[in-house]
Structure 1
Amino acid sequence: MIDNGKKRSISWHITLVLTGLVTLAVLATLSLTFFVYLYIEANMIEELIQTESERLSVRVSRNRSEWTRPFEREMAPTMFAWGESDDMPALSLPPELRNLPDGMHQLDRGESTWHVVASPLMDGRLYVLYDTIILEKNWQSFLRALIGILIGCSILTMFVSGAVAKWLVNPLNILTTRLMRWVPNFPVADIPHANESDRLMYVFNRVQDQVDASIADQREFSANLHHEIRTPLTVIRSDAEVMIRSLGESNNFRSRLERIVKSTQDISQSLESTFSLAYARFDDVAAIKIHPCVQDAYESLQLEATNAGLSFVNATKPEHVETLSRQALMTVLRNIIRNAILHAAPATLVVESTSFGLPLTDSGPGIASSDIETIFERYLVVHE
């Protein structure tokens, strides 16, 4: 299927890819940074409350073997400690802490997390708790800052990538502009919705069309010149030879007639050489795969085919191989596809593999039956 929509430019694709890659790299870096921050934070809290629990255990149990009164202390706005026994309960101790086994624990409280270490002490237990409510607000602010950095880097990358993309694509645009100068009366508006590569291919095809047309004109001129001059030269040479035979050996005009015969012979040989060079073939015949060759011929004219509404189906077999000149086959295929673009579109052109050749069939209006017998005549104009 052919996409008839607008094609994005190569610059746009380069900008998009570079921006996406940099954004992904920054996102991965910031995500790793954020999770490392959370991991380090959790380890610091656990190390803090473990250290504080050991310090309090030594301090509270000095010279004592049992709790004589409950221990309740707020060591910081978010850090608390309780010590109690069955006979001396701490009234401010959260009830859910009493059911915790000894060791380190994390309790989810919705807006924050409690990090708790419970340990046996004297005839009871010691609890040290750290509430992360303030840290939760801090890491949320940190997360917003990371998101801001990501957005800022993406925007900056988009502008930088745009400049880099223009720099990378600029040689294509320069080449396209130079080729356009070689094509007379070539309006830029003839290339609608095309990206840089399509524009270059389109202009290159126009230049190649002119080269092909020039070669065809040269060959036609050589053929006409060969035909128009060869006959009079033959007549001149024949008459001169007849006149030489009718004159005597001592006639003064004999040398001039012989010179005329020699000159006509030289001119005839020059015409034959020119004609041979014009129609010379320098083909490298080899075994080639037909399928990629047909595909290359169409892709060189794809933009023009798309604009004209010509769909293309390459139904040749991948294993189809022929021994011939690839350049000659490409020339023929391009001419047929170009004719289908000009005279059959909108239509569908199908190329198939057969044992007797390479048929190309289109669904266009076709040729009237009365014109079929004369379509190969020179300068024929078929009226639609």
Structure 2
Amino acid sequence: MDSATSSSAAEGGAHRGRRRRLPGGLRLRIALSVTAMLLVLIVAQSLALVRLNEEMEEEFITGTLDEQLHYSIEHSRRLGTLIGPQTPNMTLYRFAPGEALPQGLSPALAGLAIGNHEDWSAGRELHVAVREADGQRYVLVYDESEHRERESAVVTTVVIGALMLTALSFVLVYAIAARLTRGLETLAERVEGERDGTPFAHDGLDAELLAVARALDRAETRQAAVLARERDFNANLSHELRTPLAGIRSDAEMLLTDPALSDKARRRAERIVATTDRTTTLANTLLMLAREARPQALETVDLGAAVRRAWERLHPAAAEALTIRSAARAEIVVDASLLELVLRNLLENALRHGEGHAIEVVLEGRCLAICDRGPGFGAEDPMRSFERFRRGGSKPGHGLGLALVQHICTACGWSVRAANRPGGGACLTIDFGPGPASA
């Protein structure tokens, strides 16, 4: 597992958490889109129903007025008296032109032409039918208030029905979309989860999902091939370098044992030894990055004592340059060799960039922070310091120390963070977390 893969794996859990907290965007868009189209159809149908109901009511009223007038005129001729309608909202008037108008009939209605009319002069809608027969004028007035109430009831019923149908459509479409997109969610969870080599594509997938799954399988195969080539290259390079480096260092050490060696040549031999050691460290780091840094033998380790031992091996002559602050004894269950490698790289980084100031180590619970008083990480994102071959400033080093730290921490289930110190300098913090890694 390389550092890029480790970072992706570490970020996968957080990404899965964010995705679970968010609503299904695709299914929501499908539900809203389909419901919007259904809403347009429902509104159009509702308007058509209301319009049809209104036209049918108008035809019914017109037919009722015509029948009532015909009935009243015919019976008035036979009986000689005015036969009025029995419907409470209809009133029939009869008068001869030039005579006084009947009580309750306004001149505006009396003066209407022969035919059917709608009138608003009384402050409400009236249907008025005017006929003449045997020298008499008949005026039948129909109050539409009851009709309008029925029409309002119909409109209210249609609107409520449309809203309920729209809501039901949204729920049903959302449920259907959720069922159809469940395969995508399952596929996404498999992509983000721990991979066991099982192909994404399998029988039973829909054609569209099968195409996506096959594309993921091909991409995973290509990525695995690239990572394998990188690991093989790093492992082969580090292995091939160690043998000649050991020979160079041995020759340089033999030169240093020669008493006739001049001071100038002695300094050059010492630089050869130091450079060879740095190159060997680089080769070992590359080899570690190319391998799975899995914990092997777990044991209980006193974290404070482990920090002191790592510092003494790194800088035995300057024990006072390290300050350890701890509220209580901190013990964790770890692979001691991996912990030592992490501590050595963190302390070496702090020593390199600390500008000669004392290094402060803070132990708090299951967290370890190593801070220096150097220039810090500047304006860039401090987390970029864990990238491979990223070197801070002009300080010597190969830029792989912190990448190795992150690689080991990810493999062990720890988390490592980098931040600028408020008072100046940098802090690198490891959280050993709960579970098997804690005491």
TM bin (shorter chain): 0.3 to 0.5
Give the TM-score, by structure 2 length.
0.42
Give the TM-score, by structure 1 length.
0.47
